[in-house]
Amino acid sequence: GENVEQHPSTLSVQEGDSAVIKCTYSDSASNYFPWYKQELGKGPQLIIDIRSNVGEKKDQRIAVTLNKTAKHFSLHITETQPEDSAVYFCAASPYNAGKSTFGDGTTLTVKP
Amino acid sequence: EAQVTQNPRYLITVTGKKLTVTCSQNMNHEYMSWYRQDPGLGLRQIYYSMNVEVTDKGDVPEGYKVSRKEKRNFPLILESPSPNQTSLYFCASSVRTAFEQYFGPGTRLTVT
């Protein structure tokens, strides 16, 4: 089955700096890669996703890049703000399948 | 308001006492799924349902049952809970497959 590894497990940055979280996956059949943000006491919320037919996607301060050859994808947050502090999860799945495999999560802390 | 609701939000029970955690969505989504979240292990998929009367195992189905008799509801059943099922449980739904999942607020279960 699919195996998703996520690094780092914790990340601390100064407000205004950039943050990068990386994930690798093992199953070449995976072609849908979402990122979720989980704030304290809440359920995860989708913030951005990418499909295998594109290499990069941006949404304001957030971007995701995908390297299908190397089987890795990354989340980039620029100009970080304290409200970006949360746990971030990557996931991978075949686009039309029900199974979804998540990484172990990254706790991001943005210091004012 | 579009949402996924779970009940109860908190539950403390004893080993062997059958329990059901309910999940309901009001978005007419075809796909629903259950996850458990444990420290350092991320989100692990328990079961998922692609549509009414269609369910399938995720990565950690042992000790759990599900049913999907109506489109909006997807209860999680623990017929004989054990302490190793102490966890934070999330229900999620999507228009189809594991694409853009909406998560509920979570149910914190403690089995003593």
Q: Which residue of B has its CA nearest to A30?
A: B98
Q: In B, which residues are within 8 Å of A95 by CB distance? A: 97, 99
Provide the shortest C-alpha distance from residue B81 to chain A (in Å).
23
Q: Rounded CA gap, A47 and A88, in Å? A: 9
Q: Which residue has the tokens 């607020």?
A: B105
pLDDT confidence of residue A1? 85
The residue to which tokens 């499909």 are assigned: A51
CA distance A99 to B50: 10
pLDDT confidence bin for B99, thresholds 50/70/90: confident
Q: Does A101 touch chain B (CB under 8 A)?
A: yes
Which of B45, B102, B106 lies at the smallest CB-CB distance from A99? Answer: B45
Q: Return the residue in A9, A47, A95, A99 with the most chain B beta carbons within 10 A, the one to mutate for interface testing.
A: A99
Predicted confidence (pLDDT) per residue in A69-81, tens digit: 999 999 999 999 9
Report d(CA A15, CA A7) in Å as an integer.
20
Work out the minimum CA distance from A14 to partner chain B, whole angstroms: 24
How many residues can be counted in chain B? 112
pLDDT given at position A83: 97
How far is A14 from A61, CA to CA, in rounded Å?
15
pLDDT band at A50 (very low <50, low <70, confident <90, very high): very high
8 Å CB contact of B42 and A98? no
Confidence bin at A60 (pLDDT 50/70/90):
very high
Tokens of B87: 């966890």
